[in-house]
């Protein structure tokens, strides 16, 4: 841990990571502005918990379905070109959101969101697989920690600013800003020097593509040290996906006079927490203890949300959200680093795409469950929070009892 490069050292010395990082900042800021605007637009047009849940699902399920093929593309083709084309395509797609201003046009909106996320499924594994190629071993942990902290800071800033911008200027202005952010990202990524991918770059025939995708999946089954780490984020999503969805409804109840602001502030608190966690873990938790940290983090997240469901929602509510998401941020970065280290480069795109497939499928099921519970009156908002917080705690305890001993046996 002490031999890791410093943050400023990494940004000063590594030009390629610096350009990728700046591009990330631009597109992530636009994405979080866009996200708050979308939640607000859906609530304005429908007021339905299920419709809001569908936004979450349409932002995850198409991503999951596209991930296996996207991972294969990241292992076969030039990753820089894939990221640039994905950014340019998303810049065009989000402008289509401007056409939606009536409930009857929601199918168009959901279709455009799905298309945006499927294109994003190409970008994400290409970027994750690229980091080890443009950083040295001592820079890799710092690069991942800085990327996660950036995601968190821009979630905090973008969500807060997005709430105020949506209330002040309307959703249309926010959608245009998101489109511009993708263009900025593409411009910076164009200057990144990425070693060519060593995979087969021939035509992707269906039978061969399916075989290669399955070959990537086998890495998770036949190499348990990879498969276990690929489960960290999906296990979090068992309860976490529903609890993040619940933040939108909590924000509305917490600040009914300005719902977009309430949602934005709570998502900003989530971002602050996920930014603090990786920095603290990098400074104070040795790599050999990360599997233990994963189980403890899941449990702490559940306990914090259990408290959210129990107490009155006052001015200090964001503090609980920060505390709930700090361990999840640490888990995210540490599991990403372990997966990058344990996975051979030729499989890395497919393994990361499979991880995303698992995350998004679990996330989708959790959001569907909580949305229908609320829509049908099967549970109040607080009861739903209790339920999924308890599920998160159970997942953490199960991890401590099963996965941690397996990791310890591997070390010996």
The per-residue pLDDT for range 128-153, each reduced to its tens digit, is 888 888 888 888 888 888 887 787 78
> How far is it, in rounded angstroms, from Cα 169 to Cα 263?
16
Return contacts of 135-139, CB within 8 angstroms, 24+ apart. 135/10, 135/14, 135/17, 136/5, 138/3, 138/4, 138/5, 139/4, 139/5, 139/10, 139/14, 139/17
Q: Structurally, how many domains does the chain consist of?
A: 1
As a whole-number percent, the residues of the chain with pLDDT over 90 amount to 33
For 71-92, the pLDDT digits (tens) are 778 887 888 999 999 999 999 9
Domain span at residue 19?
Answer: 11-194+204-411
Is 5 within the bounds of a domain? no
Is 252 within the bounds of a domain? yes
Instruction: Tell me: pLDDT of 199 over 70.
Output: no
CATH of residue 186's domain is 1.20.1250.20
> How far is it, in rounded angstroms, from Cα 373 to Cα 375?
6
Is 247 within the bounds of a domain? yes
pLDDT number for residue 221: 76
Is 3 within the bounds of a domain? no
Is 237 within the bounds of a domain? yes
Q: Of the spans 106-115, 337-346, 347-356, which averages the highest pLDDT?
A: 106-115
pLDDT number for residue 213: 66
Locus of tokens 């997942």: 395
Is 6 within the bounds of a domain? no
pTM value is: 0.70
Is 366 within the bounds of a domain? yes
Is 321 within the bounds of a domain? yes
Smallest Cα–Cα separation from 26: which of 190, 136, 144? 190
Please, which residues have CB within 8 angstroms of residue 211's CB and are 6 or more apart in sequence?
none
């Amino acid at each position: 841990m002490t031999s890791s490069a410093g943050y400023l050292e990494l940004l000063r010395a590594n030009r390629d990571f610096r350009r990728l990082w700046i591009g990330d900042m631009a597109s992530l800021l636009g994405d979080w502005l866009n996200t708050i605007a979308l939640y607000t637009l859906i609530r304005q047009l429908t007021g339905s918990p299920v419709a809001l849940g569908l936004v979450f699902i349409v932002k995850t399920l198409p991503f999951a379905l596209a991930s296996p093929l996207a991972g294969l593309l990241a292992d076969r083709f030039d990753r820089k070109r894939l990221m640039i084309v994905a950014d340019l395509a998303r810049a065009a797609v989000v402008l289509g959101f401007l056409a939606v201003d009536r409930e009857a046009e929601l199918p168009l909106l959901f279709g455009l969101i799905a298309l945006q996320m499927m294109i994003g499924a190409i970008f994400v594994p290409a970027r994750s697989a690229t980091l080890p190629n443009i950083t040295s071993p001592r820079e890799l942990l710092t690069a991942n920690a800085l990327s996660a902290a950036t995601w968190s800071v821009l979630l905090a800033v973008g969500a807060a600013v997005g709430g105020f911008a949506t209330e002040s200027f309307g959703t249309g202005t926010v959608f245009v800003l998101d489109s511009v952010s993708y263009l900025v990202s593409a411009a910076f990524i164009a200057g990144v020097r990425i070693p060519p991918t060593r995979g087969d770059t021939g035509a992707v025939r269906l039978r061969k593509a399916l075989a290669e995708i399955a070959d990537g999946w086998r890495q998770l089954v036949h190499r348990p040290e990879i498969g276990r780490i690929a489960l960290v984020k999906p296990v979090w999503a068992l309860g976490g996906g529903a609890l993040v969805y619940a933040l939108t409804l909590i924000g509305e109840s917490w600040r009914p006079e300005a719902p977009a602001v309430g949602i934005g502030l709570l998502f900003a608190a989530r971002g602050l927490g996920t930014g603090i966690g990786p920095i603290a873990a990098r400074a104070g938790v040795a790599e050999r203890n990360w599997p233990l940290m994963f189980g403890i983090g899941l449990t702490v997240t559940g306990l914090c949300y259990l408290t959210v469901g129990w107490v009155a929602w006052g001015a200090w509510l964001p503090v609980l959200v920060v505390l709930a998401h700090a361990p999840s941020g640490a888990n995210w970065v540490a599991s990403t680093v372990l997966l990058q280290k344990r996975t051979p480069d030729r499989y890395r795109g497919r393994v990361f795409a499979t991880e995303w497939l698992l995350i998004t499928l679990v996330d989708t099921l959790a959001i569907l469950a909580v949305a229908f519970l609320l829509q049908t009156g099967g549970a109040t908002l607080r009861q739903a929070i209790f339920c999924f917080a308890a599920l998160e705690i159970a997942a953490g305890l199960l991890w401590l009892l099963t996965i941690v001993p397996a990791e310890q046996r591997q070390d010996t």
